[in-house]
Amino acid sequence: MNQTSLKMNKSIRASLVIVLIVFQQSLSAQLAPGIKRILFLGNSITWAGNYANYVEAYVNVQYPGAQLAFINLGLPSETVSGLSEPGHAGGAFPRPDLHERLARVLEQTKPDLVFACYGMNDGIYLPLHKDRFQKFKDGINWLHNEVEKTGARIIHLTPPDYDEVRGKSVAYAAVLDSYADWLLGMKRQLRWEVIDIHYPMKKYLLAHRKVDEQFHLDGFALAQDGVHPGETGHWIIARQILAYLGFKEIERSAGIIESLKQMKNAPQYVKLVSERQNLMRDAWLTATKHLRPGLPVGLPLIEAQSKWAGLQQRIDSLINPR
């Protein structure tokens, strides 16, 4: 090998080192050093998993060697306020209360970072009332303190928007406006970390309603029942989270597949990430002994983790095809 080739090889190696350092510094700036286990808490919107899956799918493509664990422990119907309306679920069971399970969840998952999305169920679909509002505030303050006691970082999400045109509850959109405003106020007053998903969703919905008063796109509605976002709504949530974490290039992307357009098999990749997340979500919910009836029984964690490893190999082959 001649001197010119040696110099070129050294230059290439030096460039690769610089690139790796920049990647690590960038990741540290977004997720901070030491963050490896990321927990999502919330109600059925989080349980559905789409926005959490999109966040995981995007981050892991940007930093395939970071070895981050994304854990979804959203629970349908749950509140942080501890409230439940009479006759919930046809009288079959009251709404689950996060107070009952949080200690077990934190102890078993040992997260470094927690994303918490509550509010949609916490006003129990009734008009704004100071007592119900106070229950929500008390619950969020309690959650914040309990997570901080473990040494983990907590980032709150404002509640998603409620669509009164599609939903059945009158004046409930104003309730979630108030809940979102309070959380944003805690960001200003106490320097809480709060990501606003409420008003970006509301802005999107109102902008489209100016064109079509009955705005909806089958399969892509923000919330066809007024509550549960479809694919577009979940992408807005994920996009707000990713932008907050520093991925500014995501802000104009229309969806997760478009954001991963550098990948040849992006749809298959996102499908595998979702399959793996659903597997582990059910396993974690069962392992942490939630009390809500009607959910799938997850595999034992050891068995689920074995299947997780097999899915990870397939996912890695799509991120880094040979």
Average pLDDT, the chain: 88
Count of positions (residues) in the chain: 322
Q: How confident is the model at residue 4 (pLDDT cuts 50, 70, 90)?
A: very low
Rg from Cα positions in the chain: 21
Q: Give the model confidence (pLDDT) of 96-135 as tens digits.
A: 999 999 999 999 999 999 999 999 999 999 999 999 999 9
Q: Residue 203's CB: how many other CB atoms inside 10 A?
A: 12
Going from the C-alpha of 301 to that of each of 172, 282, 283, 284, 297, the distances in angstroms are 39, 9, 6, 7, 12
Biggest alpha carbon–alpha carbon distance for the chain: 82
Q: How confident is the model at residue 206 (pLDDT cuts 50, 70, 90)?
A: confident
Q: Residue 120's CB: how many other CB atoms inside 10 A?
A: 27
**pLDDT tops 70 at residue 40:** yes
Give me the sign of the Cα torsion angle 97, 100, 102, 104: negative
Higher-pLDDT residue of 299 and 218 is 299
Q: How confident is the model at residue 191 (pLDDT cuts 50, 70, 90)?
A: very high
Q: How confident is the model at residue 5 (pLDDT cuts 50, 70, 90)?
A: very low
Going from the C-alpha of 65 to that of each of 72, 146, 170, 198, 316, the distances in angstroms are 21, 31, 48, 33, 10
Q: Give the model confidence (pLDDT) of 248-280 as tens digits.
A: 899 889 999 999 988 889 999 999 999 999 999
pLDDT score recorded for residue 20: 39
pLDDT score recorded for residue 220: 40
| DSSP bridge pairs for 205 | none
Paired tokens of 126: 């009734």
Q: What percent of the chain has pLDDT over 90?
A: 71
Higher-pLDDT residue of 320 and 35 is 35
pLDDT score recorded for residue 216: 52
Cα 290–Cα 130–Cα 190 angle in degrees, nearest 5: 75
Rounded Cα gap, residues 279 and 270, in angstroms = 14
Q: How confident is the model at residue 137 (pLDDT cuts 50, 70, 90)?
A: very high
Buried b (16+ CB within 10 A) or exposed e, 77-115: bbbbbbbbeeebeeeeebbbbbeebbeebbeebebbbbb
Report which DSSP code applies to 18: H
Q: Give the model confidence (pLDDT) of 6-19 as tens digits.
A: 444 444 444 444 33
Task: Give the homologous superfamily in CATH for domain 34-319.
Answer: SGNH hydrolase (3.40.50.1110)
Report which DSSP code applies to 43: S
pLDDT score recorded for residue 212: 65
pLDDT score recorded for residue 272: 96
